[in-house]
Structure 1
Amino acid sequence: MARILLLATGGTIAGQADAGAILNSYTAGVLGGEDLLAAVPQLQELAAISVEQIANVDSADLLFDHWRLLVGRIREAFQAEPDLTGVVITHGTNTLEETAWLLQLLIDDPRPVVLVGAMRPATALSADGPLNLFQAVQVAVSLEAPGHGALVVMDGQIQAARQVTKVATQGVGAFASPGRGPLGWVDDTGVHLPMGSGSRQVPFAALDLPEQWPQVAILYGCVEPDARMLTFFLEAGMQGLVFTGTGAGQLSAGERSALGAWAGPRPLMLRANRCGSGPVHSDAEDERFGLLPAGSLNPQKARVLLLLASIAGMDRSALEELMIDLARG
């Protein structure tokens, strides 16, 4: 029988409300991983599952320490247990996509890492968590899953870590991959997913995560943004900045002026966009200002990349080469 390690971190899937019809006023991260497993006895037909509790929080309260523990445990399990089929992670939906992308960049093993959450608490009349969890394990034990890296399974869809994002505050179909669509789907007839290629880029596979992480901020583009905020971050020695630019990642004249006037060291800086989909391409002024385009990465995933690049000690040139390699992959 397949063997799965279930790592529980909390979230809505482990949440409780006072009544079955309450979908919004609930407490996330109440039930433990063993409770989630016990609520879906059909899982015993799919795999032998061991459960470990990494955290039990609303994913809006997830910390770098939780990420470090999660990455360390996955690496340890894959190295020590050659017969382990894969890892499933129960996670809150608010920051699930960031954790998925982090793991995509760090975990160098063909075996699947599948993240799953829920949009309704476990106490809801039609809670989506139990079926989501069952389908996540279905995917993790399937022959098609290895080689894809980190996957997200929600509402019967299988999404890639790089493209997936939360696109709605309500409803069970709150996750999508804008511009790409899901990799596949899973239902009672099985897992419908192309076979993994067996080779993918894991640029930070050997990176040790520190206890003290660098600080990377996100600046949001809008009408007449306050450029003093940018100056404040530069003066504070922020190690990275992500601009959620308007349109195709455009900075305002005030922001460009503040960057041009800055005489100190420049942090790693990426231009993403606030549109929700579509790429950000290179610009003639990027080199002068020390910027790089984030490509198809949304701002929160661009921040994850900058965090790891800063930990790795990359400069702008090395980050530019990495961005080119990731775009090719």
Structure 2
Amino acid sequence: MNRLLLLATGGTIAGCADNNATLNDYTAGVLGGDALLAAVPQLQDLATISVEQVANVDSADLLFEHWRALVGRIRDAFRSDPELVGVVITHGTNTMEETAWLLQLLIDDPRPVVLVGAMRPATALSADGPLNLFQAVQVAVSPEARGKGVLVVMDGQIHGARAVTKVATQGVGAFVSPGSGPLGWLDDAGVHLPMASPASAVPFPDLALPEQWPQVAIVYGCVEPNAQMITLLLEAGIDGLVFTGTGAGQLSVGERSALEAWPGARPLLLRANRCGSGPVHSNADDQRLGLLPAGSLNPQKARVLLLLASIARLDHAGLAALFSASA
């Protein structure tokens, strides 16, 4: 029998409402991982599953200490148990894509790490959590998933950590992978991963995560943005800044002027876009202003990368080389 580790962190999949007709007014992170497992007895046919509760929170309240605990536990589990086939993480959907991308950058093992959540609380009529969890375990124990990197399983689809994002506040089909589509799907015939290629090299396989993390901010582009915000952030000594630029990651004249006028050293700076899909390429202003294009990463994932780059003490050139290697 396959041996699997289930790490529970809370979220809607563990949420409860006062009655089963309520879909929106509920408390996330009520049920423990053992209860989630007990609600799907069919899982016993797939694997012997050990459950550990890392947190039990709404994923909007997830903290860096939770990320640190997850990374440490996964690394330790893979290192100490060669017979372990994979790890499944139950997670709230609000920040699941960020956790998936963080783990993609840090976990260097071919065994699957699969994140799963739900859009409806566990108490709801037609709750999606039980089936999502069953399918996540199917993926985690599947030989097809080995070497494919960190995966997200939602609504019968299998997504890669780099591309997946949440695009809707309601409905079970809230996750997509803009520009590429899902890597695969599940049905009665099992796991299908026709679009999955071997995962790229993990850039921070041995990075030790500190108790005190760097400060990386996200600034959102809009009509007549408050460019003074950039100056205030730089004065505060932030370690990184992600611009959610308009269009293809464009900064306004005021934002560019604020960067140009800054007399001190600039932190790591990335340009992403607010469109929801499409890449950000380099332009003529980037080198002068110390900016790097975030490519296909959305702003929240660009922030995750800057956090780890700051912990690893990468400079501008080192971050540029990292993007070049992963392109």
The 8 Å contact of residues 144 and 195 in structure 1, kept in 2 or not, is answered as no
Rounded to whole Å, the distance in 1 between the matches of 2:148 and 2:99 is: 16
Q: What is the match of residue 166 of structure 2?
A: 166
Separation in 2, partners of 1:35, 1:225 = 47
Q: Which residue of 1 aligns with 2:206?
A: 206
Match of 1:326 in 2: 326
Letter in 2 for 1:242: V
Q: How many residues align?
A: 327
Q: Which amino acid aligns with 2:160?
A: A
Structure 1 runs not aligned, ≥5 long: none
Measure the CA separation in 1 of the matches of 2:221 and 2:227: 10
Classify 1:198/1:250 alpha carbon distance in 2 versus 1 (closer, same or farther; 3 Å).
closer
Q: Match of 2:252?
A: 252
Aligned to 1:285, the other structure's residue is in SS state helix
Cα distance in 2 for residues equivalent to 1:200 and 1:93: 25
Counterpart code for 1:305? L
1:241 is matched with: 241
Distance 1:253 1:38 in 2: 57
Cα distance in 2 for residues equivalent to 1:66 and 1:140: 22
Secondary structure of 2:27's counterpart equals coil
Instruction: Give, in whole Å, the separation in 2 of the partners of 1:193 and 1:317.
Output: 35
Contact map agreement 1:144 1:194 (CA 8 A) in 2 = no
Aligned residue for 1:59? 59
Partner amino acid, structure 1, of 2:289:
F
Shift of the alpha carbon at 1:37?
0.1
**Does residue 147 of the first structure (1) align with residue 111 of the second (2)?**
no
Q: Residue deviations 1:118-171, cap 9 Å, x none?
A: 000000011000000000000001110000110000000000000000000000
Deviation at 1:198, TM superposition (A): 4.9
Counterpart of 2:79 in structure 1 is 79
For residues 285-317 of structure 1, the C-alpha deviation after alignment (integer angstroms, 9 at most, x for no partner) is 101101000000000000000000000000000
- Distance apart, 1:106 and its partner CA: 0.1
User: What secondary structure, in the 3-state scheme, does the structure 2 residue paired with 1:103 have?
Assistant: helix
TM-score of the aligned structures, taking structure 1 as reference length: 0.98
CA distance in 2, matches of 1:221, 1:195: 34
State the SS of the aligned residue for 1:211.
Answer: coil
- CA–CA separation in structure 1 for the residues paired with 2:58 and 2:198: 34
Q: CA deviation at 1:326?
A: 1.2
Task: Choose 185-194 or 303-312, whichever is displaced more.
Answer: 185-194
Contact 2:271 2:280 in 1 (8 A): yes
Moved over 2 A (4+): 194-200
The residue correspondences of 1:1-329 to structure 2 (distance < 5 A) are: 1-194=1-194, 197-198=197-198, 200-327=200-327
- CA contact 1:243–1:272 (8 Å) conserved in 2: yes
Aligned partners of 2:215 and 2:260: how far apart in 1?
22
CA contact (8 A) 1:154 1:175 kept: yes
- Per the normalisation by structure 2, the TM-score is 0.99
Counterpart-to-counterpart distance in 2, 1:161 and 1:200:
12
For residues 200-232 of structure 1, the C-alpha deviation after alignment (integer angstroms, 9 at most, x for no partner) is: 210000100000000000000000000010000
Amino acid at match of 1:65: E
Q: How big is the shift at 1:195?
A: 8.5
Partners of 1:300 and 1:199 in 2: CA distance:
21
Contact (CA 8 Å) 1:110, 1:198: kept in 2 or not? Answer: no
In structure 1, distance between residues paired with 2:197 and 2:186: 19
Give the residue type in structure 1 aligned to 2:209. Answer: L
CA-to-aligned-CA distance 1:28-67 (integer Å, 9 cap, x gap): 0000000000000000000000000000000000000000
Where structure 2 has 5 or more consecutive residues not aligned to the other structure, the ranges are none
Most deviating of 102-111 and 190-199: 190-199
For residue 188 of structure 1, report the CA deviation from its aligned partner.
1.8
Distance 1:199 1:181 in 2: 16
| AA partner of residue 324 (structure 2) | I
Relative to 1, partners in 2 of residues 1:161 and 1:297: Cα closer, same or farther, differing over 3 Å?
A: same
State the percentage of identical aligned residues.
79
SS of 2:231 mapped into structure 1 = helix
CA distance in 2, matches of 1:84, 1:313: 33
